[in-house]
Amino acid sequence: MADHLLDLSATEMGCGDPALQIVRRELQRLEVGQVLAVRTTIAEHAFAVRAWARKSGIPVVADRTEGAQAHIEVQRI
Protein backbone atom coordinates (compact mmCIF):
# COMPACT_ATOMS: atom_id res chain seq x y z
CA MET A 1 0.00 0.00 0.00
CA ALA A 2 1.58 3.28 -1.07
CA ASP A 3 1.90 6.19 1.33
CA HIS A 4 1.43 8.82 -1.32
CA LEU A 5 -0.02 8.85 -4.82
CA LEU A 6 1.28 11.04 -7.63
CA ASP A 7 -0.52 11.26 -10.98
CA LEU A 8 1.79 12.57 -13.70
CA SER A 9 -0.64 12.43 -16.58
CA ALA A 10 -1.32 16.17 -16.61
CA THR A 11 2.26 17.36 -16.08
CA GLU A 12 4.24 19.27 -18.72
CA MET A 13 1.00 20.59 -20.17
CA GLY A 14 1.83 24.21 -19.58
CA CYS A 15 5.14 25.42 -18.26
CA GLY A 16 5.76 23.28 -15.20
CA ASP A 17 8.63 21.15 -14.04
CA PRO A 18 9.67 17.97 -15.86
CA ALA A 19 7.70 14.99 -14.56
CA LEU A 20 10.72 13.21 -13.10
CA GLN A 21 11.73 16.30 -11.10
CA ILE A 22 8.29 16.19 -9.49
CA VAL A 23 8.71 12.50 -8.66
CA ARG A 24 12.12 13.08 -7.09
CA ARG A 25 10.81 16.00 -5.06
CA GLU A 26 7.77 14.08 -3.82
CA LEU A 27 9.86 11.06 -2.87
CA GLN A 28 12.22 13.24 -0.84
CA ARG A 29 9.25 14.49 1.17
CA LEU A 30 8.47 10.97 2.41
CA GLU A 31 10.01 9.22 5.38
CA VAL A 32 12.62 6.54 4.77
CA GLY A 33 10.82 3.29 3.97
CA GLN A 34 7.63 4.96 2.76
CA VAL A 35 6.35 4.28 -0.75
CA LEU A 36 5.38 6.70 -3.50
CA ALA A 37 2.96 5.43 -6.14
CA VAL A 38 3.35 7.06 -9.52
CA ARG A 39 0.62 6.84 -12.12
CA THR A 40 0.86 8.04 -15.68
CA THR A 41 -0.62 7.42 -19.08
CA ILE A 42 2.47 8.87 -20.74
CA ALA A 43 5.08 6.28 -21.73
CA GLU A 44 7.88 8.87 -21.60
CA HIS A 45 7.21 9.46 -17.91
CA ALA A 46 7.04 5.75 -17.06
CA PHE A 47 10.29 5.19 -18.92
CA ALA A 48 11.96 8.00 -17.00
CA VAL A 49 10.79 6.76 -13.60
CA ARG A 50 11.96 3.20 -14.28
CA ALA A 51 15.32 4.26 -15.71
CA TRP A 52 15.99 6.76 -12.94
CA ALA A 53 15.10 4.21 -10.24
CA ARG A 54 17.39 1.63 -11.82
CA LYS A 55 20.31 4.04 -12.15
CA SER A 56 19.83 5.55 -8.70
CA GLY A 57 19.28 2.34 -6.78
CA ILE A 58 15.75 3.35 -5.82
CA PRO A 59 13.71 0.22 -5.04
CA VAL A 60 10.74 -0.36 -7.33
CA VAL A 61 8.30 -2.30 -5.16
CA ALA A 62 5.51 -2.54 -7.74
CA ASP A 63 5.29 -2.01 -11.49
CA ARG A 64 2.20 -2.84 -13.43
CA THR A 65 0.14 -1.56 -16.33
CA GLU A 66 -3.61 -1.07 -16.07
CA GLY A 67 -4.96 -0.35 -19.52
CA ALA A 68 -3.05 2.67 -20.79
CA GLN A 69 -1.89 3.60 -17.32
CA ALA A 70 1.43 2.63 -15.76
CA HIS A 71 1.48 2.23 -11.98
CA ILE A 72 4.97 2.27 -10.48
CA GLU A 73 5.73 2.28 -6.77
CA VAL A 74 9.14 3.47 -5.56
CA GLN A 75 10.45 3.43 -2.02
CA ARG A 76 12.27 6.20 -0.21
CA ILE A 77 15.68 5.05 1.02
Partner 1 sequence: MDFAHPEVLVSTQWVQDHQDDDSVRILEVDYDPESAYELGHLRNAALVDWKRDINDPVRRDILSKSQFEQLMSAVGATPETTLVLYGDMRNWFAAFAFWTFKVYRHADVRLMDGGRRKWIEEGREVTEDTPKFSQTSYTAAGADLGLRAFLPQVLGIVGRDDIGLVDVRSPAEFSGEITAPAEYPTEAAQRGGHIPGAANIPWAMAINDDDTFKSADQLSELYGSKGITPDRSIITYCRIGERSSHSWFVLKYLLGYPVVINYDGSWSEFGNMVGAPIEKTA
Residue 52 within binding range of partner 1, rule CB under 8 A: yes
Which one-letter amino acid corresponds to residue 17?
Answer: D
Nearest to 70 by CA among 48, 27, 15, 54: 48
Interface with partner 1 (CB under 8 A), residue total 18
Q: Which stretch binds partner 1 (CB under 8 A): 31-39, 40-48, 59-67, 69-77?
A: 40-48
Q: Which stretch binds partner 1 (CB under 8 A): 27-35, 39-47, 57-65, 69-77?
A: 39-47
Q: What's the closest the beta carbon of residue 24 comes to partner 1, in angstroms?
A: 8
Burial 35-61 (b: 16+ CB within 10 A, else e): bbbbbbebeebbebbbeebeeeebeee
Among positions 27, 38, 48, 70, the unique one binding partner 1 when judged by CB under 8 A:
48
